[in-house]
């Protein structure tokens, strides 16, 4: 009974993600107005920023599940935390790629240390890649769940601290700060942005549930195999 519900949920979330993503792409390319300064290339904003925000949601969700591992000793939360952080790293890598493309289009360079969000994502990317190294070097069990959870909690605290540090560092590394937060978003831009953000969040939810279902299936299979031998 529960299994059919979970299968339905994956299918429903997948359908939601596909329809929202189609709507977002249509809005981005055919509805949103071109930027006065940057022209067509500014439209990558509607991908880049929602992806970055979704990555934050992934890391926070992972940290919340990590807290449940430590606090409530919830066995299931360990895999959930891992899957959320895995998705977060995927979205984080996409943020780096889209940000890099945008930097190339608007400033002619692939990488700009003056861009706070990009540098922050580089730090987070390094941090959370080490999460996998930690996890894969430990034997599966309670100790691994606890250590991964502690590391995930450090990560979510590191986000504001790193952001503050990067802001501070610009004072002595970059005297000139790039500033592209010119005009406020107009109504049509806001609509496009919101739909795109909803699409990314739905995509995360769908991928999260697919991967989680896979991991659970995997562990059930392993238990069965152990019972047989």
Partner 1 sequence: MTYFSDVAALARKDLLLELRAKETLPSMILFVLAALTIFHFALPGGTAHKAALGLLWAALIFTALLGLTRAFVAEREQGMFDALVLAPCDRSAIWLGKSIAVFAFIACAEVVALPAFAAFFSGIDGRTVAAVALADVGICTVGTLFGAMAVAGRARELLLPLLFLPMAIPIVVGGVGGYLWFLALYDAVFALLAWAAFEYVVSEV
Q: Which of 11, 26, 157, 217 binds partner 1 (CB under 8 A)?
A: 157
Q: Which residue has the tokens 């997948």?
A: 14
If one asks whether residue 140 binds partner 1 (CB under 8 A), the answer comes out as: no
If one asks whether residue 67 binds partner 1 (CB under 8 A), the answer comes out as: no
If one asks whether residue 158 binds partner 1 (CB under 8 A), the answer comes out as: yes
Q: Which of 126, 176, 227, 228 binds partner 1 (CB under 8 A)?
A: 126
Retrieve residue 219's tokens. Answer: 């562990």
DSSP string, 87-107: HHHHHHHHHHHHHHHHHHHHH
Q: Which of 76, 142, 180, 222 binds partner 1 (CB under 8 A)?
A: 142
Nearer to partner 1, 117 or 194 (CB): 117
Retrieve residue 138's tokens. Answer: 């430990």
Q: State the minimum distance, in angstroms, from the CB of residue 102 to partner 1.
A: 23
Nearer to partner 1, 166 or 206 (CB): 166
Contacts of 168 (CB under 8 A, 6+ apart): none
CA 215 to chain centre: 19
If one asks whether residue 101 binds partner 1 (CB under 8 A), the answer comes out as: no
Q: Which residue has the tokens 């929202």?
A: 20
Measured between alpha carbons, how far apart are the two ends of the chain, in Å?
A: 29
Q: Which of 90, 138, 191, 213 binds partner 1 (CB under 8 A)?
A: 138
Q: Which of 164, 177, 217, 221 binds partner 1 (CB under 8 A)?
A: 164
Under 8 Å between Cβ of 42 and 24: no
Nearer to partner 1, 61 or 151 (CB): 151
Contacts of 171 (CB under 8 A, 6+ apart): none
Q: What whole-number distance in Å separates Cα of residue 106 and Cα of residue 190? A: 21
Contacts of 189 (CB under 8 A, 6+ apart): 32, 33
Q: Which of 11, 134, 140, 224 binds partner 1 (CB under 8 A)?
A: 134
Under 8 Å between Cβ of 82 and 211: no
If one asks whether residue 154 binds partner 1 (CB under 8 A), the answer comes out as: yes
Nearer to partner 1, 10 or 119 (CB): 119
Q: Which residues bind partner 1 (CB under 8 A)?
A: 70, 123-124, 126-127, 129-130, 133-134, 137-138, 141-143, 146-147, 149-151, 153-154, 157-158, 161-162, 164-166, 168-169, 171-172
């Amino acid at each position: 009974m529960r299994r059919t519900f979970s299968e339905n949920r994956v299918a429903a979330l997948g359908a939601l993600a596909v329809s929202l993503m189609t709507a977002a792409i249509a809005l981005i390319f055919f509805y949103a107005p071109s930027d006065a300064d940057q022209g067509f290339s500014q439209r990558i904003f509607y991908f880049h920023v929602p992806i970055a925000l979704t990555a934050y949601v992934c890391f926070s969700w992972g940290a919340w599940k990590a807290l449940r591992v430590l606090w409530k000793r919830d066995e299931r939360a360990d895999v959930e935390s891992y899957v959320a952080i895995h998705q977060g790293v995927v979205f984080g890598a996409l943020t780096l790629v889209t940000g890099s493309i945008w930097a190339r289009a608007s400033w002619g360079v692939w990488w700009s240390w003056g861009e706070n969000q990009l540098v922050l994502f580089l730090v987070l990317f390094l941090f959370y890649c080490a999460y996998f190294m930690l996890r894969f070097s430990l034997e599966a069990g309670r100790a691994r769940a606890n250590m991964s959870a502690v590391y995930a909690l450090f990560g979510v605290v590191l986000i504001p601290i790193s952001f503050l540090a990067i802001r501070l560092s610009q004072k002595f590394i970059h005297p000139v700060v790039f500033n592209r937060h010119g005009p406020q978003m107009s109504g049509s831009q806001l609509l496009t942005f919101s739909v795109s953000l909803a699409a990314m969040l739905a995509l995360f939810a769908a991928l999260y549930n697919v991967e989680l279902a896979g991991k659970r299936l995997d562990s059930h299979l392993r238990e069965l195999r152990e019972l047989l031998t």
